[in-house]
Amino acid sequence: MTPPDPNPTPAAAGPTPLPTEGGADVTLEPRYGVPLGVTLLGPLLLPLQGLWDGSRWLILAVVLFGGFLLLQAALLRLRFEAEALVVLRSGTEIRRFPYSDWIGWRLFWPKLPVLFYFREQRSPHLLPMLFEAAELQRQLEQRIPPTAPQ
């Protein structure tokens, strides 16, 4: 018979991180598909100009948003560490998400992943897919038990 755990985990805590292969940190490579797709959507909306006066503003907004996503893909990186997902901007840590605070995660549209959702105890997060999706999913599955169907 084993003695009770002197430091039990509270019931409200998130999933227990799973052991990883070798425990090495992994930094995801950028993926420019979503930013380029959004940017190229702008010119595809050009035929709307004859149908709607506000289409120029829509086209401009879409192209600018695509440019913003391209910049973010170039600057931001996700690094999976033993205890947390770390967000880096130009190599400098800007945010840390401990796995113990996570409630769940999901990649939307797995065949063409464009959004990454995860929820921690304090707040939900929805991110455009600016990173290599297959490696992101592999790292998530290794480190945090999935809670939603993939």
Which domains, and CATH codes, for the chain? 26-143 (2.30.29.30)
Distance of CA 109 to the CA centre of its chain: 13
Mean pLDDT, the chain, as a whole number?
A: 83
**Residue type at position 98:** P
Per-residue pLDDT at 9: 41
Q: Is the dihedral of CA 10, 104, 85, 87 positive or negative?
A: negative
For residues 150 and 138, give the distance between their C-alpha atoms in angstroms, rounded to a whole number.
Answer: 12
Cβ pair 119, 15 in contact under 8 A? no
User: Over the chain (150 residues), what is each successive 10-residue block's mean pLDDT?
Assistant: 44 43 81 93 86 87 95 95 95 95 89 88 91 92 71
Per-residue pLDDT at 54: 83
E-only strand ranges, the chain: 26-27, 76-80, 84-89, 92-98, 102-108, 115-120, 124-128
